[in-house]
Amino acid sequence: MAAVLEVRTANTVEIANKLPLDLERSDMREQWLRRLLSNPLVVEEVIMEPFARGALVAAAEHHDQVIQLSMDQTDIGNRFAILMLSVRTGDRALPLCWVVEAGAANIGFASQQVLLERVPAWLPPEASVMLAADRFYPSADLLHWLQRHGWSYRLRLKGNLLADTGVGEVTTTGALAASQAERYEPTVALFASRVMTAIGILHDPGHPEPWIIAMDCVPNRTQVLDYASRWGIEPMFSDFKSRGFGLEETHLTCPQRLSRLLLIMALAMHWCVAVGQHDALTNPTSTEKKSPTADRP
């Protein structure tokens, strides 16, 4: 973790050169790292579990027992697709679990389900969950899974999905959004399988496209805007890539090895956030020191 933080690159040669190992030859450092990344005993979800549990407990405390999760995908060129589940922490997100596949195709529900089903055992008692996901992920299978597990959700929808509001003919989500800039439908049958959900539609002036959001509650403007909690995953992906660890610089070709490299980076992120939070408590800035009642006589 320290080596990755220092070099801020996914180039394993540069990482290996910083490893504090007492070895006979310098080239043995890279061999050591290669063996670590190829070791099947390094199981990402097992090592991440205590860190994930801690992040989920903290998220529940800071958001009135509602844990805000995001699911999204990023690509490493055309070589890898990474689907990641993260938890909102302040204005950003922290990685919980992920799956890496070769190629750049969208990762389907089978892999999404693997990630989602790791989380319930990690949740603190009494906490509830709200999942936000972009429009590439909603499916009948995902909605059924969320409803079966009692999770709240804010899922952005594409405009070409079949939608039946129970009034008039079956239409599409895009046609519903085109009819008015703000619309709320409490009961809509989505997809050919007619899975039931509520939908909120909001098209603010100046935005090129509307938000068409599937949700588990009575839809209104505030519930639609809850979808914005997903944005915390974008700076997290930037930290993995161009603004942080330079993941796109990797020369790895095996998805399993890249997944273990992601583990090291994810642990480094959790450590950095913990250090930052501790520093904010023990060495607050002048703004942080100022209490809400400081100006009162």
pLDDT band at 26 (very low <50, low <70, confident <90, very high): confident
Q: What average pLDDT does the chain have?
A: 90
CA-CA distance, 169 to 217, in Å (whole number)?
A: 24
List the structure tokens of 203. Answer: 């098209």
With H, G, I as helix, E, B as strand and everything else as coil, classify residue 94.
strand
Give 177's contacts (C-beta < 8 A, 6+ positions apart). 159, 183, 201, 203, 210, 212
pLDDT, mean of residues 200-214: 92
- Asked whether the predicted pLDDT for residue 162 surpasses 90, the reply is yes
Task: Print burial letters for 159-192: b (CB count within 10 Å at least 16), e (below 16).
Answer: bebebbbeeeeebbbbebbeeeeebbbeebbbbe
Confidence of residue 290 (pLDDT cuts 50, 70, 90): low
Domain segments of the chain: what residues? Answer: 155-215
| pLDDT class of 113 with cuts at 50, 70, 90 | very high
* Residue range 217-271, pLDDT digits in tens: 999 999 999 999 888 898 899 999 988 899 998 999 999 999 999 999 999 999 9
Query: Between 289 and 98, where is the model more confident?
Result: 98
Within the chain, residue ranges assigned H as helices are: 2-7, 12-17, 27-37, 44-62, 109-116, 140-149, 173-179, 221-225, 233-240, 255-282, 286-289
pLDDT by residue (tens digit) across 127-149? 999 999 998 888 999 999 999 99
Q: Which two tokens stand for residue 48?
A: 């991440």
Does residue 284 register a pLDDT over 90?
no
pLDDT given for residue 20 in this prediction: 86
Q: What would the mean pLDDT of 84-97 be, rounded to a whole number?
A: 93
